[in-house]
Amino acid sequence: MAISSQTLDIMGERQSGQDVRTQNVMACQAVANIVKSSLGPVGLDKMLVDDIGDVTITNDGATILKMLEVEHPAAKVLVELAELQDREVGDGTTSVVIIAAELLKRANDLVRNKIHPTSIISGYRLAMREACKYVEEKLSVKVDKLGKDSLINCAKTSMSSKLINIDSDLFATLVVDAVQAVKTTNNRGEVKYPIKGINILKAHGKSAKESYLLNGYALNTGRAAQGMPTRVAPARIACIDFNLQKTKMQMGVQVLVSDPRELEKIRQREADITKERIEKLLKAGANVILTTKGIDDMALKYFVEAGAIAVRRVRKEDLRHVAKATGATQVLTFADMEGEETFDSSLLGYADEVVEEHLADDDVILVKGTKTTSAVSLILRGANDFMLDEMERSLHDAICIVKRVLESNMVVAGGGAVEAALSVYLEYLATTLGSREQLAIAEFAESLLIIPKVLAVNAAKDATELVSKLRAYHHTAQTKADKQHLSGMGLELSKGTIRNNLEAGVLEPSMSKVKIIQFATEAAITILRIDDMIKLIKDEREDGAE
């Protein structure tokens, strides 16, 4: 059959070429503009109100973007980009979105000037590789030279743009202590910092200054009954994941009773099954029982008599962490291979003590002196929920940053220093190339300057002048052999001057910068490759109704 040359009848609209590009770039700019003003130590916060009226006040780029309902498909790429940065590094979510949007904007201008997208993409890729290499070889400093102070400074830099900036001395120390407390060495001899072992508990009241670090894993629930002891030492902990209530038949199981006297026996047996289970637990030596489900009053009686602490409705996640820290095994059922119910003492976890303490208006259970890894809890105090939530987000970023510094041991200067240095370096690199990538690399170099520019604008300083000065310093550092120490020059935003940020202690892990450049470039390339968008219209007719 000969195909007629008429256009295909597509149920939808098709946009191609420059229209799509412009539209995509506009959408990404719009997203970046939302988070732009929250960058830096003087960045402003955003208040997001969702469809049911819940309020979130935050400065964290990933959180802001996650809560926005982004419609445009290209802008969604940026939202995913921020989430990726959050997962991989934990901080730098705002910067990565701003750089990606700027790269796109400049690429779009190049395409308008008749440069093919493929050339731009290969130029960007080359620039990205060179930039990452330069950061790792020339701009990074090993942490060993700087000591514990550098960790505290990295945490402070991460917090500088957040709500807790005022008390950053206190919080930075808390964060560094917490991360160092969960240090473990795996089988291959690598030192790891599993930051999931840091539990953050939020309690109302008092001021943020009264937040503190607790040695032990805190569970945000109290004992199941008042008659239980408040302290058990040494503790042998059973972590179970089923009900300790009167056993009921499973759904769909029918019991037909012909003799009413049998009924009482069935009831009695139901109660006895639970009793037997509890006796097995206690016989194995457990004196702390944590369960994710319920324990009814009848069952509590046995625990009170045995002088054990039982805690019900523990969050699954908490149970997992406690099990890992104490060496316990989570038990889903007592049934063994023979169909009998058994509980072996090897399934128990050990801790020096388990105590119940009163914290703010709540009771919390603390598991102290755990067997395998040490678990710590950060207890945050603050005026209200919004503040506590934002404190938790800020601490999460800082904890991730400290972990990255400890694991990679390399830091770079913050405050726009890296971006300015790369911009100068890449601009020079572009002039040495005789290929068509030259223009793309020059634009890449320009794009990186968006970070110091936005930092200066947010601080209400003259961005043009500051960035020019900054670049002059970095040019000197890169061209004169005796001036290499100037490569740490960055912005001092409270006074609006340039200073050596390496010495001033404004530090970030170099991994964070490298990932920002890689992710931002990849995202920009992904969106730049699009030159056609076909939006299909939903078929209004019902399926089957021909």
The amino acid occupying position 459 is: A
Helices (H), 327-449: 385-408, 417-432, 437-448
The DSSP symbol for 194 reads: -
The DSSP symbol for 156 reads: H
CB atoms within 10 A of CB 250: 6
Q: With contact defined as beta carbons under 8 Å apart, do 448 and 134 qualify?
A: no
Catalytic residue chosen out of the listed positions 56, 58, 94, 326: 94
- Distance, in Å, from the CA atom of 103 to the CA atom of 517, rounded to the nearest integer, reads 10
Whether 60 sits among the annotated catalytic residues: the reply is: yes
- Distance, in Å, from the CA atom of 34 to the CA atom of 341, rounded to the nearest integer, reads 59
Which tokens go with 264?
């009482």
H or E element in which residue 81 lies:
helix 73-88
Which tokens go with 277?
């289970």
Q: Which residues have CB under 8 Å from 480's CB, separation 6+?
A: none
DSSP output for 104-144: HHHHHHHHHTT--HHHHHHHHHHHHHHHHHHIIIII-EEGG
Whether 479 sits among the annotated catalytic residues: the reply is: no
Q: With contact defined as beta carbons under 8 Å apart, do 35 and 98 qualify?
A: yes
- Distance, in Å, from the CA atom of 517 to the CA atom of 124, rounded to the nearest integer, reads 10
Coarse DSSP helix, strand, coil percentages of the chain, rounded to the nearest 5 percent: 50, 20, 30
Catalytic residue chosen out of the listed positions 56, 60, 63, 292: 60
Whether 247 sits among the annotated catalytic residues: the reply is: no
- Distance, in Å, from the CA atom of 508 to the CA atom of 153, rounded to the nearest integer, reads 8
Whether 94 sits among the annotated catalytic residues: the reply is: yes
Catalytic residue chosen out of the listed positions 274, 370, 397, 521: 397
Q: With contact defined as beta carbons under 8 Å apart, do 400 and 89 qualify?
A: yes
Q: Which residues have CB under 8 Å from 375's CB, separation 6+?
A: 182, 197, 198, 199, 216, 217, 321, 322, 325, 367
Catalytic residue chosen out of the listed positions 93, 291, 326, 370: 93
Catalytic residues: 60, 93-94, 397
